[in-house]
Chain A
């Protein structure tokens, strides 16, 4: 069995041996993307498993082992882990946990530390935690983000973004109920083998695969004469994408007769890299790092250009490029505001208004610091620029009542429907 090894500061490491013996538990953060992420990890010789537990006990565990004022993403992720450790039937001495770490002025940069504290409190301090990040924080001998893994992860996100968009664009208008989800299942199982391959050429983009996905969905018969209000979802990264965090917001909106549009996850990562570039320009820093980041952004954007064109070719909405999206924030909010989701959130709201989805749910954990500024703080300005915008802010909290949230969402939808009728 693998020995427990610590670094010079007493941090428990994930060792080479563990890599062979341990199962890595991954919290569910974005359902469209994370399946592929798991397969990507496994293709590199890890044993990763996506957590699907979502019972009510999970919230209890989160409350117990984290500070009550900490934001809901931390609480839920901690709760999901501890619940899985306790009740998931794992050999507790053969699991490790992985959590993403973004860095930045928001408290989210501390999740990994909070998780570590929680494990200690629960007497699980022998379980190693892996911080998944792109800036080399907390290295582990048994877990390395190689260039190949990095590109595999990037592909997972790219495919996830495509699926999220085409499903949401097709499903509300499908002629045969349930077909879209059927196709989603089919497509997913077809493309998984691609992510299971160990060796890939990182310089080659899976164009065929993306083309196949988009085409499959475009073949689904739809009736676009049905008028449905288009609702955009923006917000803090976890509650925006995780159904656990946002009480199944996507499902609620669909049930209420809306078409949902959730901006892509990739933009968030590009924004994070771009923010580092911004800071180096503004406050100084490594020119080499800056160059590397710029090259990476450029590369990703070239690839995404292909996706955008293909989407357009098959009559899906052609999303803005990162550069175009960034331009939207100009004059509204400074690029220096990049704590949390920063100016990107503001830009996404404007983008939504432009694309004909002025109805927006802005999601945030209760008391989310950056969103005071970039979310709620920008409503007034967006409203001034675009009077048709119809934005509702929803705070998510482990004990906020769902009825309150739904009531507010309903108000937004009622307005959306009325505006839609006016247009007719």
Chain B
């Protein structure tokens, strides 16, 4: 008798089984979510099989990441999931060229090329796919299926970072808060997945021909398939009938090694559940030893309290504070004597304006004639939007509001740490002034919303999930990098069958460690930040988080009972301090007739092309968001004459244009990226002198990036490097004779004391990577000599390689003369930059403007890379100076690190100079994935802090949103104001 075969696929979120007969036909299939209890789901699945199939024995084969260890322990065959998928596909159809499979958290691509099969999986950094859609759906407050429905009616696609879930989230959240249409966001989420798959997996290999779509998301979401088809211009696609169990099908086809009866397998699984009881000691203690310890803890924390009173019993003045945060909206109505009359806390549900409107309506229901509202302030991500929508009296950046609120609980507060849904904020306070602001960057945002999304996916309410941790005996170790990594760690813990209690506790500990060691980077909190610590933000309602925090820093802290409302509370205090006779806030009658619409648009007033969201209230009043400068907001600008080195350098460099009416020997294309920016004066002069015309690639943009994204081999390299691929494609469209992109291991020498003059390895050797990965270069002469411009002799020797037959032509003497001219022009350029820097400093002194030293590398002048921050700073009336304009003003020769990269030597010298300037502050731009900045940022920070200067760092990447940047800069400016006045602000 023929023995049937069972394939069981245990993935990160689901468990699937298929039974096949002799003809590889499916005779039974099942698909369920395992809610992280793998063994029990498996047991129920097996008993179902037992009831439906009476066969005595089966060949059994496991597949899927979560099934690996289980199968190994039980001695059952295991087939890697991509191999399973390949097996299944091959049994169906031989004409498939490429197969794209998106699973819960993995993305895979299989290229079929004759007998060669090439399989790829996403790397560890390119996290969630199916789980990512789930997370995004939660943000939109819809089900994953509804995301698909929404996407059908889209009008436009927003650029959303496609690197990983965390990045995308920080793009989507602000879009939601600005009121972008949900239909558009839904489709943008799908597009992000498509882009992510292409950059992460195709790696230079074109996805074309007959393409098969596999896995849950691609099976169920028609619009996601559509995005793939349109983006890749596919003409022929294949969607198998049983797409959701396809991998299990492959496993069943491959099941040939181990034969068992169902009873036996059940027995083995039961044995496994027993085995799991053996605990692995990872050194993590339970959060609470016993009940008594828990009770003392609760009692101690019930002291930091602000009272709520019944609004009907109160007559007098009241002050309103609204905190429109990234995921939640909070509102507090405060009495004259600091009692809460009304409070409100809700998820934004993707629509903050609507939420505030409802909250206000609720408030008005309770407000009686004995109460007069004398002020209303907003704060948080949506402060401007809410202020404009409801005519509030004022608004303040959230850092200030939080400090206000915290100092109510402890006047001597030294340190505030606020962990919210999306962001983490920490401020150090000295003499009543916020002296240091630490915000989490896109990559370390393992904050509250992570625990929440996770608990939701397990089917728990967040509060219940948090309570589970209290009883955990063996918290799991989940590591502490970004949430994507945590997701994988949780997956591993699940596979090891950790209890939900232990996972919950492990998550709480991870969030705390993430905050302490990644974001705050404090070893000894007491010594570095003082003893009066206030913890707040919604996440600290979670007692497990609070407990692990106290334990980790070995100190008791204060958690106010309104921990999640502190921003709103602070805003209401500000409203009182700035009280007016009668608030101009929208009245109840106006609110009843309140109409609200949004429209999207693109600002065309400069080359930034900001994505605007136009909010229209009551068909007349407009509020525009998404703009980087005042022009987008429809205002006239009088700020064009404020010096700004970023804009100056960009214009200065792009003005090296070859003449139209001259006859040239040929055209050379130059990609505008990395080291090429600063060297344009050199190369332009050099090649012009030798009779060649120079053509530059188009200015950077998301569209340009997408042009080249399918040839990027490493998805964790920095964004400036990835952009090069697009620049090369853009040059190829311009019909140039040559593309010139030199390998420059060594940079210029500007100071004698540095240890070396390297470029970073990526800048130095990216031309080599381009040559090896861009097929489109074939047919163009690509010139990538290894060159240093430091020394005329070695330059002349090495440049010879491009002046050979089939390449360029010039006489030896001419080359040397051209070099002399070129190096002079390069020096002229540097001198101009330095002079412009001097002018900027004088201007800032004369006009009493804030001076911001935006320190990065020469290629950060690209507005696509700096996200238009230069313009944003100008609109805030700041004078902006770059690091290469000031580095000759000071010498920082004594360093704790090796001073061997030319661009970084400038950073250190400039940082030293900044310490001598009174009204200046330095902001360092750091690219995600830049390993060298882990070294420079620490060093720049210590140079600044040694002289009592603030250090501010902004991480830049594909994320195009400026939400966090805005908060950071505005907080910095308000702190500068405080420091300058020498007054305490509170």
Contacts and interface: CB of A to CB of B under 8 A. Distances in A.
B80 A401 contact: no
Contacts of A283: 746, 788, 790-791, 794, 798
Contacts of A109: 898, 900
B786 interface: yes
Interface in A381-418: 381, 383, 387, 393, 395, 397-408, 410-411, 414-415, 418
Nearest to B894: A9
A336 B761 CA distance: 11
B495 interface: yes
Contacts of A408: 121
Contact of B485 (A105, A381, A383, A401): A401
Interface string B541-553: 0000000000000
Contacts of A369: 760-762, 931-932
Given A113-B898, A114-B935, A377-B772, A403 B68 contact: yes
Contacts of A64: 517, 523
A414 B80 contact: yes
Contacts of A114: 897, 935
Interface stretch (A67-75, A162-170, A173-181, A306-314): A67-75
B93 to A, nearest CB: 19
A116 B900 contact: no
A405 B83 CA distance: 16
Given A70-B934, A378-B772, A379-B713, A415 B521 contact: no
Contacts of B486: 399
A92 interface: no
Contact of B765 (A279, A373, A400): A373
B479 interface: yes
B124 interface: yes
Given A69-B933, A411-B121, A372 B717 contact: yes
Interface string B487-505: 0110110010000000000
Given A283-B746, A377-B713, A401 B492 contact: yes
B65 interface: yes
B444 A339 contact: no
A405 B933 CA distance: 26
A367 B481 contact: no
Given A337-B765, A373-B769, A411-B82, A63 B793 contact: no
B928 to A, nearest CB: 9
A105 B759 contact: yes
Contacts of A401: 124, 479, 485, 488-489, 491-492
A114 B942 CA distance: 13
B11 to A, nearest CB: 11
Contacts of A57: 283
B788 A370 contact: no
A399 B760 contact: no
A110 interface: yes
Residue among B82, B773, B900, B935 with the most chain A CB within 10 A? B935
B765 A367 contact: no
B228 interface: no
Interface string A328-372: 000011101101100000000000000000000000001111111
A402 B282 CA distance: 15
Main secondary structure of the interface of B (DSSP, over half): mixed
B488 A400 contact: yes
Contacts of B773: 377, 380-381
Interface string B898-928: 1011000000000000000000000000000
A57 B523 CA distance: 15
Residue among B203, B743, B934 with the most chain A CB within 10 A? B934
B521 A67 contact: yes
Interface in A95-126: 105-107, 109-110, 113-114, 116-117, 121-122
B80 A105 contact: no
A113 B896 contact: yes
A63 B515 CA distance: 12
A333 B933 CA distance: 27
B756 to A, nearest CB: 8
B714 interface: yes
Chain B interface extent, by class? 35 or more
Contacts of B444: 68
A9 B895 CA distance: 9
A339 B745 CA distance: 9
A380 B768 contact: no
Contact of B769 (A106, A339, A372, A414): A372
Contacts of A387: 116
A81 interface: no
B80 A407 contact: yes
Contacts of B798: 282-283
Contacts of B716: 366-367, 372, 395
B768 A334 contact: yes
Interface string A215-233: 0000000000000000000
A339 B761 contact: yes
Chain A interface extent, by class? 35 or more
A32 interface: no
B931 A404 contact: no
A55 B282 CA distance: 9
Contacts of A379: 203, 713
Interface string A273-300: 0000001001110000000000000000
Contact of A410 (B80, B124, B205, B518): B80
A399 B481 contact: yes
B204 interface: yes
Given A109-B900, A403-B68, A336 B935 contact: no
B209 interface: no
Contacts of B765: 337, 339, 370, 373-374
A203 interface: no
B68 A376 contact: no
Contacts of B929: 367
A203 to B, nearest CB: 34
B142 interface: no
Given A68-B444, A107-B935, A395 B125 contact: yes
A335 to B, nearest CB: 9
B743 A336 contact: yes
Contacts of B793: 284
Interface string B113-143: 0001111010111000000000000000000
B390 interface: no
A418 B124 CA distance: 25
B714 A67 contact: no
A367 B931 contact: yes
Nearest to A380: B204
Contact of A373 (B65, B121, B761): B761
A182 to B, nearest CB: 27
A377 B712 CA distance: 8
A258 to B, nearest CB: 14
30 contacts: A57-B283, A63-B517, A65-B523, A69-B931, A69-B933, A105-B764, A107-B934, A110-B898, A117-B897, A284-B794, A332-B772, A336-B743, A337-B743, A339-B745, A366-B716, A367-B929, A368-B931, A371-B714, A374-B765, A376-B203, A395-B123, A399-B478, A399-B479, A399-B486, A400-B481, A401-B489, A403-B66, A403-B488, A407-B65, A407-B80
Interface of A: 9, 55-57, 63-65, 67-71, 105-107, 109-110, 113-114, 116-117, 121-122, 279, 282-284, 332-334, 336-337, 339-340, 366-374, 376-381, 383, 387, 393, 395, 397-408, 410-411, 414-415, 418
Shortest beta-carbon contacts, A-B, top 9: A399-B479, A339-B761, A401-B488, A69-B934, A336-B786, A377-B769, A105-B758, A376-B714, A67-B934
Interface of B: 65-66, 68-69, 79-83, 116-119, 121, 123-125, 203-205, 282-283, 444, 477-481, 485-486, 488-489, 491-492, 495, 513, 517-518, 521, 523, 713-714, 716-717, 721, 743, 745-746, 756, 758-762, 764-766, 768-769, 772-773, 786, 788, 790-791, 793-794, 797-798, 894, 896-898, 900-901, 929-935, 937-938
